[in-house]
Structure 1
Amino acid sequence: MSVTTNEPPQEATPSPAAALRSGSLGTADIAFFVVSAAAPLTVMAGVAPLAILLGGIGAPVGYLLAGITLAVFAVGFTTMSRHIKSGGAFYAYITRGLGRRVGIGAALLALIGYNGMEIGVYGLLGSTFKDTLRALAGTDVPWLPIALAGLLLIGYGGYRSIDFGAKVLGVLLLAETGILVLLAGGVLLKGGAHGLSAATFHPDHILVPGTAAVLAFAFAAFTGFESTVIYRREARDPERTVPRATYLAVGFLGLFYAFIVWVAIQAFGDAEVVAAAAKDPGGLFFTAISTYVGGWAADLMHVFIVTSVIASLLAFHNAINRYALALSEEGLLPARWGRIHPRHRSPYVAGVAQTVLGAAVVLAFWAAGADPYSQLLLWVNTPGMIGLLLLQLLAALAVPCYFRRVRHQEGALRTVVAPIVAAVLLATAIVLVITHIDLFTGASTTVNWILIATAPAVFAAGFPLAGWLRRKRPRVYAEFAAEPAEPADRADVAAPA
């Protein structure tokens, strides 16, 4: 009898040992997760040639502008992170600023957004692995076994401890950025095709019709950078490491993207690069590195694109697991999803659930005869990307609303000016992405409208859910994203209704 009566409390209230591994992650570790999620090598080799094709030699400036916009967003975002201790990141910030109904909609949007950004990438893993085997060994293999093997590999990585994941991502990130640095070194040492040029930064090459499309691609290239705050419970000195990691990630990505795209332009020459991108966009970077470094480096680039995709999958998987953990603690997801492995200190049940969901989506697309790249990747990724951009916009709007209601000593630049400027710029980015959606998907008008509508529909579903929770589960509703008051400097005990 004693065993039977003691078991439920043990499951409902984990022992102190069954908690996330606090103090595991430093600034660099968190930055590895964020930058790895962005998959720099995949973005450069796979997407940057299209940006050059559409925007000409001014394309690098688009990445700088996107980086500046998100750095402005990070000002208010990181300021609020010093006041919000929740592991729920976006939805917690939005709840505390804009109310529980909006926050619950944001929680659903975060789940769909992050899952969309990860699950679609299993199609990219299948297609890039196929391409790599074909290029290196002349072998053709089906994509489904590759994607399923990737699901198991990523599931195992999420099951292990967070510091294990950080070490893996550190190695993989070093590989993918290293090959791009190698390309840059080769081009710079040889002086490019016709000497190094700064024409990229001339207004005549920036203010062109294709710049809007380049900006849409550029904003998409930063997706996931805000996930730094998801790891605050596992960070060392989170009040410092989380903001530092956020700025480090945004700054690195913005400058690195712009620099590498400029290098690719120098490799072919200002007058020839657009024609080269039009002729073979997928091979642009491989041709460049073969020419300036050697064929062996192109072979390495093929391999490192695969590892870049794996790193992105692992980074998003860890972020999703921690969102699911937070929402299970809130009562919006099953309580068992909040179980933490006693040895690895990972939210392993949430990880298993995410892996099963990913497998179901991958198998459904395979059964329908879908293409792993043009349909599984693009059709699943695009709503996720739009969802995360909407979350960034809502978070920017939440910052001034939050600081209007609490006692604080933060300056107006951080709590009002920067967030409002960021909100305007992010709204512009969303419009650019939506109006150029065909560049991302290559799909029909009907499919594009469905993809565009998915994220707002999921967000809107949060409002009736909030009403149902308020009536049927009032305690869950009242405590959603709430934190204990801190009398010394806080006036907000709970989120506004």
Structure 2
Amino acid sequence: MSVTSQAPPDGTAGPAPARLRTGTLGTADIAFFVVSAAAPLTVMAGVAPVAIVLGGIGAPAAYLIAGITLTVFAVGFTTMSRYVRGGGAFYAYITRGLGKPVGIGAALLAVVAYNGMEIGVYGLLGSAGADTAHALWGADVPWLPIALAGLALTWYGGHRSIDFGAKVLGVLLVAETGILVLLAGGVLVAGGADGLSTASFSPDHVLVPGTAAVLAFAFIAFTGFESTVIYRREARDPGRTVPRATYIAVGFLGVFYAFVVWAVIQAFGDAAVVEAAADDPGGLFFAAIATYVGAWAAGLMRVLIVTSVLASLLAFHNAINRYGLALAEEGILPARLARLHPRHGSPYVCAAAQTALGLVVVLAFALAGADPYTQLLLWLNTPGGIGLMVLQLLAALAVPRYFRRIAHREGVVRTVVAPVTAAVLLTGAIGLVISRIGLFTGASAAVNTLLVALVPAVFLLGPLLALRLRRSRPEVYAAFAEEPPDAGPGPVPAPRPAAPTT
């Protein structure tokens, strides 16, 4: 279903209907959205030191393992993307393979998970902004005004056209990755603290009990990489662009994360880095870049962490807007949310609604006196991250079921072996995250149980909603996750030739 303006009642021609800007995004643009959502600089400076404490010098290998697992997932996922041309991303794929009740549950979970990921990050923005102001200028700035300014900037970016957002994210992403490359380059030129070592990738340091905990952090660090398919309707040559962007994003993140963590280990030396990370996890990266590049670079890194968080917010905001648009077109959410800006071609009503929701949640946490990092960020991001991993698992399970139902010429590796393998690996990854949930939240057992339970609770609302829709709005139920008329041409392979009759 697509939204178009209605002709005036007098029969005169009305204005042309607003539409998404189809054919706007190239491979690099989509990759910028995906990698920006992961916030590489923030993940490295804020989380990697904890990974080193837990996993020792073998921590870099965990990021490679997570990247390989998600690459396997991407094989089946991107193969199916050639056939599913709508804007519903996860829920459209899951519906095609596992049925409408499961797909509606996935749609609800996607909306909640992506909102949890984005709104929680406003707490990180407030915390990082306050820390940066204090470190650079000695100013004690409350976190709330910073978070509210971030809300306004994020809304503006979502209100504007998608190509505007791609350009902004391109600049911010180059800056945040550039400062990490500068750090790594300084370490490599100097030869590290004790000479460069590859011990981080040896089995003796990778196959240790702490690696399981690091893997849990590593999988969360890739959050949002699968959102490439959300932009299918706005991509140029989506049959090629979307798979390429997906592989580039997951490949880049896996290799880049591993390389940067390894470089920081070399900065302190294999024997000293774990103690240094334990003594000051928040300052590890700043100390390294100040030593090997200069104090000015440490100050710049603090500023770029704030812009990294802003880039992540804008990337998640655009993804949420397109989920909301797709569900409004489906009839699941109010039709008003499907309105597109007449000039920018953006889902501007979704942008406003999502910003309003973020404002309410941020103000509620602030009025309750909650900590912006340990509560607003971690309490919302934890179920959000688990929810996205569950969606990945369901999408992997949907791929072989889908290809069993249609005629196609895809190989068994892409349609069965890769998705089944990914499903097994993702199940293990979800188990790792849940079993070590306390490392993510630092909260009580009761709070952790509630945060984890939110994921199945939201998902199980889907079948109930499906039953209600099938009874009260059968036309909406029947059309759910079907191809929208403006989805654009899809490079769907020709069906297998029929077997000769005898």
TM bucket normalised to smaller: over 0.9
Describe the superposition over 1:150-188 as per-residue Cα deviations: whole angstroms up to 9, x where unpaired. 101100000000000000000000000000000011000
Q: Residue 269 of structure 1: CA displacement?
A: 0.2
What does residue 407 of structure 1 align with? 407
Q: TM-score, normalised by structure 1?
A: 0.95
- Is residue 132–residue 303 contact of structure 2 (8 Å, CA) maintained in 1? yes
Is the partner of 1:298 in helix, strand or coil? helix
The equivalent residue for 2:500 is none
- Counterpart of 1:71? 71
Normalised by the length of structure 2, the TM-score is 0.95
Q: Structure 2 counterpart of 1:251, which letter? A: G
1:382-393 matches, cutoff 5 A: 382-393=382-393
Please state how far the C-alpha of 1:407 moved relative to its aligned partner: 0.5
Deviation at 1:482, TM superposition (A): 1.3
Tell me the CA shift for residue 287 of structure 1: 0.2
Cα distance in 2 for partners of 1:194, 1:378 equals: 36
Separation in 2, partners of 1:55, 1:333: 44
| Structure-1 residue corresponding to 2:219 | 219
Structure-1 separation of matches of 2:113 and 2:10? 34
Deviation at residue 302 of structure 1 after TM alignment: 0.2
Q: Distance in 1 between matches of 2:198 and 2:419?
A: 33
| 1:37 to 1:14, Cα distance in 2 relative to 1, 3 A | farther
Structure 1 residues 257 and 275 mapped into 2: Cα distance closer, same or farther (>3 Å)? same
Counterpart in 1 of 2:340?
340
Task: Tell me what 1:297 maps to.
Answer: 297
Contact 2:437 2:448 in 1 (8 A): yes
> Match of 2:382, as an amino acid?
T
Q: 1:34, 1:249 within 8 Å by CA — same for their partners in 2?
A: yes
Contact (CA 8 Å) 2:62, 2:218: kept in 1 or not? yes
Pair 31,444 (structure 1): closer, same or farther in 2 beyond 3 Å: same
Q: Which residue identity is paired with 2:205? A: H
2:315 counterpart residue number: 315
Which secondary structure does the structure 2 equivalent of 1:231 belong to? helix
Unaligned runs of 5+ in 2: 1-5, 497-502
Deviation at 1:387, TM superposition (A): 0.5
CA contact (8 A) 1:14 1:339 kept: no
Aligned equivalents of 1:176, 1:241: Cα separation in 2: 24
Render the CA deviation track for 1:316-364: whole Å, top value 9, x for unaligned. Answer: 0000000000000000000010000010000000000000000000011
Q: In structure 2, give the amino acid aligned to 1:379.
A: W
Letter in 1 for 2:198: A
Corresponding residue for 2:429? Answer: 429
Q: Deviation per CA, 1:234-272: give whole Å up to 9, x if none.
A: 000000000000000000000000000000000000000
| Residues 253 and 9 of structure 1: CA distance in aligned 2, closer, same or farther (over 3 Å) | farther
Equivalent in the alignment of 1:363: 363
- Offset of residue 14 of structure 1: 9.8
Gap change, CA 1:313 and 1:14, over 3 Å in 2: farther
Q: Secondary structure at the match of 1:223?
A: coil
2:48 equivalent in structure 1: 48
Structure 1 gaps, min length 5: 492-497
Q: Secondary structure at the match of 1:107?
A: helix
Distance 1:421 1:301 in 2: 39
Which residue matches 2:481? 481
Please state whether the residue corresponding to 1:86 is helix, strand or coil: coil
Name the CA distance, whole Å, in 1 between partners of 2:335 and 2:482.
18
Alpha-carbon shift at residue 6 of structure 1 (Å)? 5.0
Distance 2:135 2:8 in 1: 56
Instruction: Give, in whole Å, the separation in 1 of the partners of 2:463 and 2:240.
Output: 35
TM-aligned CA deviation for residue 483 of structure 1: 2.4
Task: Give the letter for the 1:308 counterpart.
Answer: S
Structure 1: how far apart are the matches of 2:208 and 2:73?
A: 26
Match of residue 127 from structure 1: 127
CA gap 1:43/1:433 in 2 versus in 1, 3 angstroms: same
How many residues of Structure 1 are paired with residues of Structure 2 in the alignment?
A: 485
- Asked if 1 retains the 8 angstrom alpha-carbon contact of 2:409 and 2:495, the reply is no
Residue equivalent to 2:499: none
Q: Is the 8 A contact 2:408 2:495 kept in 1?
A: yes
Rounded Cα–Cα distance in structure 2 between residues aligned with 1:306 and 1:145: 14
What pairs with 1:235-250 in structure 2 (closer than 5 Å)?
235-250=235-250
Encode CA deviations 1:370-412: one digit per residue, 9 max, x unaligned: 0000000000111100100000000000000000000100000
- Please give the secondary structure, in 2, of the residue aligned with 1:449: helix
Match of 2:206 in 1: 206
Aligned partner of residue 325 in structure 2, secondary structure: helix
Which whole-Å CA distance do the structure 2 matches of 1:380 and 1:215 have between them? 20
Where 2:443 maps in the other structure, the secondary structure is: coil
Q: Which runs of 4+ in 1 moved over 2 A?
A: 5-10, 13-17, 483-491
How many angstroms apart in 2 are the aligned matches of 1:276 and 1:434?
Answer: 28
| In structure 2, C-alpha distance between the alignment counterparts of 1:426 and 1:165, rounded to whole Å | 31
Map of 1:29-40 to 2, 5 A cutoff?
Answer: 29-40=29-40
The letter of the residue matching 1:163 is: D
Tell whether 2:397 aligns with 1:397. Answer: yes
Say what the alpha-carbon RMSD is for the aligned residues: 1.7
Q: Secondary structure at the match of 2:21?
A: coil
SS in 2 for 1:47: helix
Asked if the contact 1:324–1:338 (Cα under 8 Å) also holds between the matched residues in 2, the reply is: yes
Residue 283, structure 1, aligned to residue 288, structure 2: no
Could you tell me whether the CA contact under 8 Å between 1:397 and 1:420 is conserved in 2?
yes
8 Å contact kept, 2:8–2:14: no
SS of 2:53's partner is helix
Cross-structure match for 1:495:
none
- Using the TM superposition, give the Cα deviation of residue 490 of structure 1 relative to its aligned residue in structure 2, in angstroms: 6.4
